[in-house]
Each structure stands twice: as C-alpha cells, then as structure tokens.
Amino acid sequence: MRFLVRRVIAGIVTLLVVTVLVFGLSRIQGDPRSLLISEDASLEQWDDLGRQLGLDQPAYRQYLLYVTRLVHGDLGESTLQRKPVVDILWSRIPNSALLAGAAFAFAILVGVPLGVLSAVKRGGLWDQGIRSFAVLGQAMPVFWVALLLIYIFAVGLNWLPASRNTGWTSVILPAITLGWFGASGQVRILRSSMLDVLDSEYVRLARAKGASARAVIWKHAFRNALLGPITFATLTLASLITGSIVVETVFSWPGLGLLAVQAVSNADYPILQGVILLTTFIFVFASLLVDVLYLAIDPRVRIR
C-alpha cells in the first residue's frame, strides 16, 4: 500500500544522503596517499600514486564512481588489510548479532515482566523498587557499568570471562551491560503504557463484565500496551547500536563496533564507511519492519 511505498522511498533517500556524508568524511580526512605511501618515497612517486588513485578527478566524479561501485556491492578495500571490506564486515556480523540478540533478550526478559509487575502493583514497594532500578539503569554510563561488571565478576570473583568471544559464557557480561539500558527503558515504557490502559474505559468495562484480574491484565491491557514498546523498539535499536560501540571496545568483543573504532584509530576509511552504511541500512530496514508491525497490530492506522 501507498504508505509502505512512501516509507521505502524515504529509506532509500536516507541511504543516499548517508553515502554523501560518508564520502565527504573520507575526503576531509586529507590525502589518502599519506596512508599508503612508503616513508622513503620521493615526490615523483607521490604524484604517480595520486594519478593511480584517481585523485586528479573532480570530486563529484569520484563520488559517482564511489556510488556506482556501492550499487554493485563493492565497498572497496581496507587500506590496512588489503582485503575487500565486504568480506571483513561479513565476518564480524555474527558476533555483533549475537551480542545484540543477547542484549535484546535480556532487555525483554527482564524489562517486560518487571514493567508489568510495576504497573500492577502500582504505588507499592515493588513498584518503587523497580522504578528506582529503571531510573538508575538509564542513568549510569555504559562504559562505567562495563568496567564495574568486569571488576566484580571477572577480576574479583573470576566467575566469567571478560573479553573476546570464547564461548557462550563470554557473552553474558557484555550482553548484560548492553541490555541494561534497554531493560530500564522497557520497564518505564511498559509501566506507563499499562497504567494508561488499565485506567481506560475499555478495561473498566471488561472488569465490570466480570473478567478475572489476570484475564484483564494479559488479554486486554497487555496487548494494547504493546504499542508503546514497539514504538520504543527503534529507539532501543539505536541505543543498542551506539551502546555496542562502547561495550565492544571495553570487552574486546570482535564485532562491528570494535571494528569501527579500530578503523577510526587506524585511519582505515573504507571500513569506517562500510560500517556506517551497514548500520544505517539495518536501522532503516528495522524501521520499516516496525511500521509493518504497527500496521498489523493497530487497526486504527490501517484506516487512515
């Protein structure tokens, strides 16, 4: 339907704009020859390399060339490793996906029940405790939580590994660190959504009809309250992407985030460009999915 088509076009426009941004970034950094040239090279060799790399062409032509290659799936070659960027990205995606998945699972498995509990036991001790946890969870900086967890569980108690991907135990600490923020967010969102719905006419009617408390909560309130968290989903994804950069750095988790940070340090711009484009693409795609989900769940939107 027309709505979806418009969203798809918007997504494509987004990606195009990002390619310009990414191209511009690699151009401001300076002359790419300075990364490739040997320390003993002469001025003549410098000029030759410039011609080889097409640096004497006007900028827009270089950009068009760049985009053409992109469309054909050629993201260029890493300046450091001399391997195609696509291969390198491909090898790191599973690690990032694993971490993001585990973090998301943690956020949902911890956040949702706590959010519901908090709404149902509104005003009580449980509610207050859970709300404090949620606020703290969103207030503490990710890197600090990471260091704290490493210190307590890896260095201090020596229960869990604190770096790299060595098996299923090694994903625990990074996933908790990354998912902590999301869990807190879910708690707060779900709680307020649930409260809204629980107060609504619709639920009061169900109650008046004699439906049991549990039925009311799960059948009616919960489903309608889901709309809130789903909207929050894209924000959660954004925070997962941003958070994973810091988390992967601290835990040396070999994913896309760490790859990007290393690429920045090493002035390896093709890789950096690749990661930015990939994450943007993932985000755009996920937003589209959320829109579709919305259409499916909320009949009101369909009518519009």
Partner 1 sequence: MRINIRGRMQIYATGIIGLFVLTAGCGGSYSQPVAAPTAPANTSTTLSSTATARAEESSSAESPSTRTTRTFTLAASDVTFPAMVPSQLPVAPSGFMRRWGVYETAMVWAVDRPELEFRLITGWELDPDGRGWTLELKHGVQFHGSWGEMTADDFVWSFEDEIRDGSIHSGIGLARTTGATAEAVDNYTVSFRLDSPNSFFFDAFFGNGSGASTKVFSKNRTETLGVDAAFLDLSGGTGPFVFKKWAQGDEVVLEAFEGYHGTPSQLKTVRILEIKEPATQIAALKSGQVDASLVPAPLAEDVASDPSLDTLSFGVPGSQRLYPQGQFCMETTLAGEPIEPYPRPGYDPSKPWVGECDNPDSQENARKVRMAMSMAIDRQSIVDNILGGFGRPSYLPEVLPPLLDLIWQDKWFIPYDPDTARELLVEAGYPDGIDALIRITTGSHPLEVEMGQAVAQFLGALGGDVRTEVLTYSGNRPSVVARERSDLWFRSSSAGTAEPPELTQLRRNPENAFNPGLEVREPLAIIRQMDSITSREEIDKIRERLYDGFNLNQWIIPVVLADQILGINSDRILEWKMTTGSGYLGDFENIRFK
Partner 2 sequence: MTPPVAGPDLSNTRLETGRNLRRRLRRWPVSSIVILSVLIVSAVFAPLIAPHDAKLGDLSDRHIPPMLFGGTSDHILGTDGLGRDILSRIVHGARISVAVAVVALSVGGVIGTLLGVVSGYAGGWVDEVIMRIVDIKFAVPLILIALALAVILGPSFGLLLGLLSFLIWGHFARQVRAEVLVIVTMDYVAAARSCGASPVRIMYRHIFPGVISIVVVVGTLQVGAVVLAEASLSFLGAGVPSPTPAWGSMVAEGRLYIDTAWWVSLIPGVVIGLLVTAVTLLGDWLRDRLDPRLRQIQL
Binding residues for partner 1, rule: CB under 8 A, are 29-31, 33-43, 45-46, 49, 78-83, 88, 91, 147, 150-151, 154-155, 158, 161-164, 166, 249-252, 254, 258-259, 262, 264-267
Contact positions with partner 2 (CB under 8 A) in 122-151: 135-136, 138-144, 147-148, 150-151
- Of the pair 68, 169, the CB lying nearest partner 1 is at 169
| Angle at 64 (CA atoms; ends 287, 281), nearest 5 degrees | 15
Report what 124 binds from partner 2, partner 1, none; CB cut-off 5-8 Å by kind. Answer: none
Name the residue with tokens 């009518």: 303
**Least separation in angstroms between CB 271 and partner 1:** 10
Contact positions with partner 2 (CB under 8 A) in 229-258: 232, 234-235, 238, 241-242, 245-246, 249-250
DSSP track, 188-204: HHHHHHHHHHHHSHHHH
Integer Rg of the chain from CA = 24
Report what 275 binds from partner 2, partner 1, none; CB cut-off 5-8 Å by kind. Answer: partner 2
What distance in Å separates the CA atoms of residue 204 and residue 208, rounded to the nearest whole number?
6
Cβ contacts of 26 within 8 Å, gap of 6 or more: 32, 269, 270, 272, 273
Q: Site for partner 2 (CB under 8 A): which residue of 4, 8, 12, 21?
A: 21
Residue 301 C-alpha from the chain's centroid:
26
**Least separation in angstroms between CB 13 and partner 2:** 6
- Of the pair 224, 279, the CB lying nearest partner 2 is at 279
Name the residue with tokens 């798809």: 8
What distance in Å separates the CA atoms of residue 151 and residue 244, rounded to the nearest whole number?
19
User: Residues 150-189 vs partner 2: string with x where CB under 8 A?
Assistant: xx---x-----------------------------x--xx
Report what 17 binds from partner 2, partner 1, none; CB cut-off 5-8 Å by kind. Answer: partner 2
Beta-bridge partners for 84 = 77
Three-state SS at 82: coil
